[in-house]
Amino acid sequence: MFSRNVFALALVAALLAGCGPAGPAAPSPAPAAPPSEAATPAPAGSYPTPEASPTATRPIVSATSVPLPTREASPVATRILTPLATTPGPTATAMVQTASPTPASTKPITLPVQVCLATAVSGSIGVQGATQALAGDLVLTNRGQSACALDGRPKVGLVDANGKALAVSDVSPPDASPTPRLVLDPGQSAYLRLFWRNWCGPVPAFPLQVSATWPGAGTAVSAPLLSGAPSEKIPLHQAPVCNASNQGSTLSVYPFRPTP
């Protein structure tokens, strides 16, 4: 036991003799140099520090140094925020145009021409001998104050001096064209061409009258049956010859035609 204590004391003395006296204090270390881009090797026994990501090491720009760009308002937002009373948008303009009143039309209104009444029309006819017939033109003149129309197929008959209708058949000629609608201004005329054939009855009571009517006329227009030109005003005292006693007398009536 004693020998162990002696050995320990000798070991301590040897250690103290090897260290020597304590010297002056070591100078303070120089300031550390700024870190370079090259990586400094980590000291032994320490864990490596993870490298910062590019996003984390990107310098943060101050808000006062670089202003953020201002986002422009969309056209829709501008139209919505702008008062309609100051600057109306396209939609408001269309609504105003639609609501504006339509100006009155300056076109003249054309009324339909009424059918000529028999009371506003005068008639005249002069006949002359044709091949075994009497032929003439019944002229109808508008004596009214406004225009009127002759429309549809006319119907014509003969009446004797006693007012009795003669037994004649009103027929349409096979060569007759369709009946047109004729508009007569006041004073204008139209005519009907007539052919009276095959009278085999008793001698009629002269002078004779021609009676004509048309759809919408109301009544009939009567005119004396004159010989020759109507201006001569010579009453006719003649009837067409009898060609076939077993057949009736006919009055061929052509459509209305304007006077030349």
Cα distance from N-terminal residue to C-terminal residue, the chain: 175
Question: How many angstroms separate the Cα of 164 from the Cα of each of 96, 154, 171, 199, 219?
Answer: 75, 20, 20, 16, 17
- Separation between Cα atoms, residue 152 and residue 215, nearest integer Å: 6
Q: What is the pTM of this model?
A: 0.58
Query: What are the sequence ranges of the domains in the chain?
Result: 118-258
Residues 150 and 139: their CA atoms lie apart, in Å, by 12
* pLDDT, tens digit (0-9, with 9 covering 90-100), for 168-221: 999 988 888 877 799 999 999 999 999 999 999 999 999 999 999 999 999 999
21-57 tens-digit pLDDT: 444 444 444 444 444 444 444 444 444 444 544 444 4
pLDDT at 228 > cutoff 50: yes
Amino acid present at 171: V
Determine the CATH number of domain 118-258: 2.60.40.10
